[in-house]
């Protein structure tokens, strides 16, 4: 109760501050401002209409109600947060380097051959009409294309568009996929208007999984051949007035990169979503916009100026929820957040740097030196499902697929050699959920005793906090503890822990900070480095780090080959270079042999899951990545103007507004009135 009172007072103080400083746009004004109006998020100069003869305000239906600051009726406009502004406003071509796909581009105006049902963990055909039909050795594949989908200029979408798109991605060196596509495909051709024949250089049983959506999106986004073939080089074509095959087109955009306004097509039935669902997206307009800093974001949600946010911290949500009872999340009560984002956050090691980072005893020592109970409290105050198995995220779908069996294996069979004669040390701790539940009860939160509930909220367990065992493993790895800290090869040992510091991923940043504090207390001489997004991404790929807060995981489907195929050591490149494999540079022949065997198996072959399990166990025994929690996402929604968002009680999808599946939510997000 005290916490809620403080949150309300904080919210009131923020409102007063905002009123005094006149910050933010006025969503309750009945007079539309000029494009690029005076709100914090769109301090914009002017916007660029997609059709200069039809600016946004001329396209809008007259309304007596509130208007947005881009001139659209508020009750017809779904407003969605972007986590950052774009450096390339008006650039909608995803072949081109620098395109900000998360600004509604891949969510609303791009389409793939196969999309993802995130609740069932199953793909479904988007542009494709069914799944590939392959020959016996999976080298020849036939893909049928849906008939009836039209581009927004009235041209039909056909197999010629698909073949053209894939061949450009294969043959144009300016497109980042070129090398992989050349390695994979021998030929891609449209044999008739609605049939594509694909020949692969080697057996490829996972065509839909690799070239369709399985989580966030896929780089194979079909483009209109009749538009793109007219360009001298499609990798440098901005495509500022994109023709789409989805229910939305670009209406206008901010030239400073703070927002893009999308408008529903009148012929929405002739689009991918229209063909698949037969349901009209309810919002006439969808406005993707950058909201600004944390305080501005909270104020905009409290004042009903935004409908959907990507991600906030529990403290931010408590403030907004306390001040506005229309603000909600995945659950209607604690823990509010979903733990089913398939990218688990934790810390990884740059093994390419050599010892001790390439030594599994050192990595296991780090895991056992950490107190996960305290890490969990430090990250999101105990909210989050433990995800201990190193490159497999502990989503609810993965528990029956893999996690339940892995927990039993870790409890009864996984053993470590501590180097002091102890060869049967069990590192797994299945008691985490019960302890954390009791901690939450002591804080006044009602936590049921139901084991199924505890597993869903807190997970199957994590690794023991055992400083004595950790010390033995560090010593086995060649480290020595002295009065002034740890030494390696006779020299003081220091290590840097880096994290993404742009504020977009609080979970990983807080995890890095918690690990840093605990390892310092353990006697290590550590530095903590915050990196900008571009630096962090580049360093992780090139190995330019020692320990980094990363998430090299992800997967919803039972066949998880696509999420760990990058650990094949055939893909390793020298330190400092970017490659198509994982940046940690784990070099393990046994693991790579398993991956190469799995690659040749059909996902439906029972042997495939068996080998998947072997690989996960091997990667866990090597502790190639210390995973903390599955992706915890607290994604607020505002039910003032729009409602029927996906929730735990209405799970027709997950709250993944930044994934390509968002356009399949738009028919179900309905006007609140």
Q: What is the mean pLDDT of residues 522-545?
A: 92
Position 534 scores a pLDDT of 77
Determine the Cα–Cα distance for residues 91 and 238; give it in Å rounded to an integer: 5
User: Over 50: is that where the pLDDT of 136 sits?
Assistant: yes
Position 63 scores a pLDDT of 56
Same-domain pairing of 288 and 437: no
Contact of 90 with 105, CB cutoff 8 Å: no
For 132, the domain range is 111-234
Interval 305-329: pLDDT, tens: 999 999 899 999 999 999 999 999 9
Interval 419-447: pLDDT, tens: 999 999 999 999 999 999 999 999 999 99
Determine the Cα–Cα distance for residues 530 and 579; give it in Å rounded to an integer: 24
Same-domain pairing of 421 and 317: no
Same-domain pairing of 294 and 175: no
Confidence of residue 582 (pLDDT cuts 50, 70, 90): confident
Give the SS3 label for residue 482: strand
Position 179 scores a pLDDT of 84
Position 562 scores a pLDDT of 79
Interval 284-312: pLDDT, tens: 999 999 999 999 999 999 999 999 999 89
Same-domain pairing of 425 and 478: yes
Higher pLDDT, 548 or 397: 548
Mean pLDDT rounded to a whole number for the chain: 89
Same-domain pairing of 569 and 625: yes
Residue 239, domain member (yes or no): no
Same-domain pairing of 416 and 492: yes
Q: What percent of the chain has pLDDT over 90?
A: 77
Residue 364, domain member (yes or no): yes
Q: What is the pTM of this model?
A: 0.83
Same-domain pairing of 161 and 124: yes
Longest dimension (CA), the chain: 80
Position 57 scores a pLDDT of 44
Same-domain pairing of 210 and 116: yes
Q: What percent of the chain has pLDDT over 70?
A: 90
Label the pairing between strands 525-531 and 625-633: unpaired
User: Over 80: is that where the pLDDT of 604 sits?
Assistant: yes
Residue 241, domain member (yes or no): no
Position 14 scores a pLDDT of 45
Interval 380-390: pLDDT, tens: 999 999 999 98
Confidence of residue 229 (pLDDT cuts 50, 70, 90): very high
User: Over 90: is that where the pLDDT of 413 sits?
Assistant: yes
Token readout for 181 is 């596509």
Q: 176, 201, 234: which is the final residue of a domain?
A: 234
- Residues with Cβ within 8 Å of residue 537, at least 6 apart in sequence: none
Interval 21-56: pLDDT, tens: 333 333 322 222 223 332 333 333 334 444 433 444
What CATH number corresponds to the domain at position 215? 3.90.76.10
Determine the Cα–Cα distance for residues 115 and 109; give it in Å rounded to an integer: 14
Same-domain pairing of 513 and 607: yes
Residue 47, domain member (yes or no): yes
What CATH number corresponds to the domain at position 266? 3.40.190.10
Same-domain pairing of 427 and 490: yes
Residue 434, domain member (yes or no): yes
Same-domain pairing of 296 and 422: no
Position 113 scores a pLDDT of 98
* 45, 226, 272, 307, 484 from 644: Cα distances, Å: 35, 38, 22, 12, 58
Same-domain pairing of 63 and 180: no
Confidence of residue 118 (pLDDT cuts 50, 70, 90): confident
Q: What is the mean pLDDT of residues 627-646?
A: 96
Interval 480-490: pLDDT, tens: 999 999 999 99
Residue 389, domain member (yes or no): yes
Residue 646, domain member (yes or no): yes
- Residues with Cβ within 8 Å of residue 230, at least 6 apart in sequence: none
Q: 186, 202, 234: which is the final residue of a domain?
A: 234
Rounded to 5°, angle at Cα 293 from 291 and 298: 70
Total structural domains within the chain: 3
Residue 311, domain member (yes or no): yes
Determine the Cα–Cα distance for residues 294 and 307; give it in Å rounded to an integer: 16
Higher pLDDT, 610 or 565: 610
In 149-302, DSSP assigns E strands to: 185-192, 195-200, 248-254, 259-264, 285-290
What CATH number corresponds to the domain at position 378? 3.10.105.10
Which residue, among 286, 469, 285, has the nearest Cα to 368 in the 3D structure?
469
Interval 172-182: pLDDT, tens: 999 988 888 99
């Amino acid at each position: 109760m005290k916490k809620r009172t403080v949150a309300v007072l904080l919210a009131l103080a923020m409102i007063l501050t905002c009123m005094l400083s006149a910050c933010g746009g006025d969503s309750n004004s009945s007079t539309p401002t000029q494009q690029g109006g005076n709100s914090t998020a769109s301090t914009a100069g002017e916007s660029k209409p997609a059709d200069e003869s039809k600016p946004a305000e001329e396209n809008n239906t007259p309304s007596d109600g509130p208007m947005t600051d881009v001139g659209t009726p508020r009750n017809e406009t779904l407003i969605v947060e972007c986590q950052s502004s774009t450096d390339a406003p008006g650039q909608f071509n995803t072949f081109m380097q620098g395109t900000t796909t998360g600004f509604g581009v891949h969510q609303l105006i791009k389409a793939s051959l196969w999309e993802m049902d995130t609740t069932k963990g199953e793909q479904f055909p988007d542009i494709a009409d069914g799944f590939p039909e392959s020959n016996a050795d999976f080298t020849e594949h036939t893909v049928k294309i849906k008939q009836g989908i039209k581009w927004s200029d009235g041209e039909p979408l056909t197999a010629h568009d698909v073949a053209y798109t894939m061949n450009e991605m294969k043959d144009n060196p300016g497109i980042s996929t070129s090398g992989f596509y050349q390695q994979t495909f021998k030929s891609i051709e449209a044999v008739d208007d609605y049939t594509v024949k694909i020949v692969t250089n080697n057996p490829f049983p996972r065509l839909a999984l690799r070239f369709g959506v399985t989580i966030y999106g896929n780089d194979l986004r079909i483009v209109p051949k009749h538009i793109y073939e007219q360009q001298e080089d499609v990798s440098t074509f901005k495509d500022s007035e994109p023709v789409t095959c989805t229910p939305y087109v670009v209406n206008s955009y901010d030239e400073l990169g703070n927002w893009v306004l999308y408008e529903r097509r009148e012929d929405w039935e002739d689009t991918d979503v229209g063909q698949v669902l037969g349901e009209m997206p309810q919002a006439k307009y969808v406005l993707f916009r950058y909201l600004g800093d944390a305080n501005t974001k909270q104020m905009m949600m409290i004042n009903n100026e935004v409908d959907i946010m990507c991600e906030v911290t529990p403290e931010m949500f408590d403030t907004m929820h306390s001040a506005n009872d229309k603000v909600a999340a995945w659950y209607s009560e604690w823990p509010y957040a979903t733990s089913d984002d398939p990218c688990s956050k934790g810390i990884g090691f740059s093994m390419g740097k050599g010892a001790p980072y390439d030594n599994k005893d050192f990595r296991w020592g780090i895991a056992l030196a950490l107190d996960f109970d305290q890490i969990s409290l430090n990250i999101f105050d105990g909210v989050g499902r433990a995800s201990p198995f190193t490159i497999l995220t502990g989503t609810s779908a993965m528990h029956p697929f893999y996690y339940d069996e892995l927990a039993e294996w870790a409890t009864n069979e996984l053993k470590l050699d501590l180097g002091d004669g102890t060869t049967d040390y069990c590192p797994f701790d299945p008691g985490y959920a019960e302890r954390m539940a009791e901690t939450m009860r002591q804080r006044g939160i009602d936590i049921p005793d139901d084991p199924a509930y505890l597993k869903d909220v807190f997970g199957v367990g994590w690794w023991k906090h055992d400083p004595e065992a950790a010390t033995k493993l560090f010593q086995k790895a060649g480290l020595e503890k002295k009065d002034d800290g740890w030494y390696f090869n006779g020299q003081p040992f220091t290590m840097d822990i880096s994290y993404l510091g742009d504020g977009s991923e609080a979970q990983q940043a807080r995890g890095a900070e918690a690990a840093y504090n605990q390892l310092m207390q353990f006697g290590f001489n550590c530095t903590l480095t915050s990196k900008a997004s571009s630096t962090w991404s580049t360093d992780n790929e090139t190995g330019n780090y020692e320990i980094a807060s990363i998430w090299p995981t992800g997967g919803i489907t039972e066949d998880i080959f696509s999420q760990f195929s990058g650990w094949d050591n055939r893909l390793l490149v020298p330190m400092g270079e970017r490659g198509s494999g994982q940046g940690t540079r784990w070099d393990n022949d046994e693991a790579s042999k398993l991956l190469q065997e799995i690659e040749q198996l059909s996902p439906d072959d029972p042997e495939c899951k068996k080998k998947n399990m072997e690989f996960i166990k091997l990667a866990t025994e090597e502790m190639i990545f210390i995973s903390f929690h599955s992706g915890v996402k607290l994604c607020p929604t505002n039910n003032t103007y729009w409602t029927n968002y996906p929730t735990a009680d209405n799970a027709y999808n997950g709250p993944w507004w930044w994934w390509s599946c968002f356009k399949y939510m738009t028919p179900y997000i309905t006007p609140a009135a």
